[in-house]
Structure 1
């Protein structure tokens, strides 16, 4: 929606019916025109490419890569919908930070596409982060929310992400790492840095908590 407000013709894709319904409602109520399609993103990219749909930019952010079981499939799909000289831009939480649990204990493997199953499933992280992302926003999450469905995440290293994009024919233009997380208080005792950013606890060495990259499809 923020990209559409800047003048872009936007198509948003999400696997959640509820997310798409909410996005369409927000679009209608705000008067900011945008299209939203409910689909598994890898399947959507494959079908959109086969249909000849092209985009100048593909953008993804915050907690996407961990849900992808096949990086090459997704990277090929992205390349398939980019117009000549089009760019894919990603802003994502750093996979090294994802090796730690909420108590900063080294718990999970780095990379390898290792599936990590959580029996408790995904919590109401949108409601949990509301005060960080939208201070003073009205409404609360579901009280004592419990998810009956386990979740499965996939840990991919930076090298694996970049390798998949390269194999898909995309050229790296920029890559940066950041010692803070935007609007995400995922660990205990995180230091508030201002601007809705959170860093490692005071007195501890900095580690990368987010990264960004831009890749381009050649003419």
Structure 2
């Protein structure tokens, strides 16, 4: 694990999170009135959530976590960003949706949490690339799941991360190779607009420049799946999707119904997201 790089990412996410939430208006009201930030893909994979204990790893500011709570899950969210967790706690109080939120590096949290506690562990949308070592991550997920419990992940496809924003091949596919980014975590919320803020996008912070660099890691599907299998999780379902939900990742992407983005006109389909469900067997 590269904990020094995790710490750099914490600072970068703190700065970016303030910019992101500046565009999102009254999120507590949106949630109180029955709004949800979830997409059909994760809901289908998660299934019935009523009364299920759910751990949301890398939960960011808690919008998805509390949307899961609104569907009956008993939620705990963990994220490395101080700003994100502080916001999530306020959002829980202001929306009236219960959730426990803890600020920690996911590796530290998984290592210290009680075993066999959760029916579901969930993560989504831009989480895996921030992990510097998938072995202890997979081991920790297996450890905190109840026997028969499931890990559900909906994530941007590693094929997508081969390209820069102009759709030029620029990065390695796999192996956890380190990709530093001097400009840090971007204001992708501003770039995506109402597709991420369906209840009313606000201009908020303009021309955000992150003062803190960030560090990502390039993982292929085999890099991800093999540690899960080694640590007692059985793959039950794997899906690939030729669109991205909510987030305009590449220049020239076309908007589609359901707040989805497609590749630019004339570009052959590529998988832009994937989803999986894996069950703890022991």
* TM-score > 0.5, shorter chain as reference: yes
**Displacement of 1:138 after TM fit?**
5.2
Q: Tell me which of 137, 152, 167 is aligned to 2:215.
A: 152
Q: What does residue 43 of structure 1 align with?
A: 108
Name the SS for the 1:211 alignment partner: strand
Moved more, 26-35 or 81-90: 26-35
Structure 2 counterparts to residues 29-178 of structure 1, below 5 A: 29-48=94-113, 51-52=114-115, 54-137=117-200, 139-178=202-241
The CA distance in 1 between the partners of 2:178 and 2:88, in whole Å, is: 30
Q: Deviations over 1:15-66 (max 9, x none)?
A: 1111111111111111111110011111111111xx3361000000000000
Runs of 4+ in 1 over 6 A off after TM superposition: none
8 Å CA contact 1:124, 1:141 repeated in 2: no
Moved more, 106-115 or 128-137: 128-137
The alignment status of 1:15 with 2:77, answered yes or no, reads no
**Displacement of 1:136 after TM fit?**
4.9
Q: What's the Cα RMSD here?
A: 1.3
Name the SS for the 1:25 alignment partner: helix
The CA distance in 1 between the partners of 2:171 and 2:261, in whole Å, is: 21
Q: Deviations over 1:159-213 (max 9, x none)?
A: 1100111111110000010000000101111121210000111222100000000
User: What 5-or-longer segments of structure 1 have no aligned partner?
Assistant: none
Name the SS for the 1:83 alignment partner: strand
The CA distance in 2 between the partners of 1:155 and 1:52, in whole Å, is: 29
Name the SS for the 2:228 alignment partner: helix
The CA distance in 2 between the partners of 1:205 and 1:177, in whole Å, is: 15
Name the SS for the 1:104 alignment partner: coil
The CA distance in 2 between the partners of 1:127 and 1:168, in whole Å, is: 39
The CA distance in 2 between the partners of 1:75 and 1:107, in whole Å, is: 28
Q: Residues 9, 136 of structure 1: CA spacing in aligned structure 2 closer, same or farther, 3 A cutoff?
A: closer
Indicate the structure with greater helix content.
2
**Displacement of 1:137 after TM fit?**
2.3
The CA distance in 2 between the partners of 1:60 and 1:52, in whole Å, is: 18
Q: Residues 34, 133 of structure 1: CA spacing in aligned structure 2 closer, same or farther, 3 A cutoff?
A: same
Q: TM-score when scaled to structure 1? A: 0.95
The CA distance in 1 between the partners of 2:225 and 2:185, in whole Å, is: 27
User: What 5-or-longer segments of structure 2 have no aligned partner?
Assistant: 1-65
Q: What does residue 211 of structure 1 align with?
A: 274
Indicate the structure with greater strand content.
1
8 Å CA contact 2:79, 2:102 repeated in 1: yes
The CA distance in 2 between the partners of 1:166 and 1:157, in whole Å, is: 15
Structure 2 counterparts to residues 190-201 of structure 1, below 5 A: 190-201=253-264
8 Å CA contact 1:56, 1:87 repeated in 2: yes
**Displacement of 1:131 after TM fit?**
1.8
